[in-house]
Amino acid sequence: MIFDELWRKQWHRDKLQRFYDKEIGKLAKAKDHREAEELRQEAAHYVHEADQDLDFMRSWMLIKRARRLQVPLPPYSDKQAWHDFWGRISLTPKAYDDLRNAIRKEEGQRLEHRMRWVKEVIIPILSALSVIGSLIVAYTALKLKH
């Protein structure tokens, strides 16, 4: 499941960050500033790679959701909407936000459509059944009284 993969990647990224923070802290305590700086640069590289993996997965999860809802995607030729990470394409932050907003709007419209059915069909049917039930109870009560 893709959510599990995303969770694992996030966990791996956080574990990586904790490891490097711990090691850099040890080196800083030992006053080995040159080695600590090298480790900071290495950490920045690997954590950045992990962040890019997460961005890529989140982007494609959103794209999959948009396709399921038939929300149009930005054209692949739009360089303002797409990143290219060594052949792996994902949405830019602005395009990600725009697509997420479009998905929310579509989901809201679909929910509104379903709620219209509830208001216009189901509630009147339930009201009619309630009235019929009340009339049956009233009739039964009057019949028992006489």
The domain spans of the chain are 2-112
> What pLDDT is stored for residue 68 in this prediction?
95
Question: Checking phi first, is residue 70 left (phi over 0); if not, alpha (psi -120 to 50) or beta?
Answer: left
37's tokens: 């700086």
DSSP state of 75: P
Dist CA 141 CA 138 (whole Å): 5
Q: Which pTM was predicted?
A: 0.67
Mean pLDDT for each 10-residue chunk of the chain (146 residues)? 78 92 86 86 91 88 94 90 83 93 95 86 88 91 81
> What pLDDT is stored for residue 24 in this prediction?
87
> What pLDDT is stored for residue 3 in this prediction?
67
> What pLDDT is stored for residue 124 in this prediction?
87
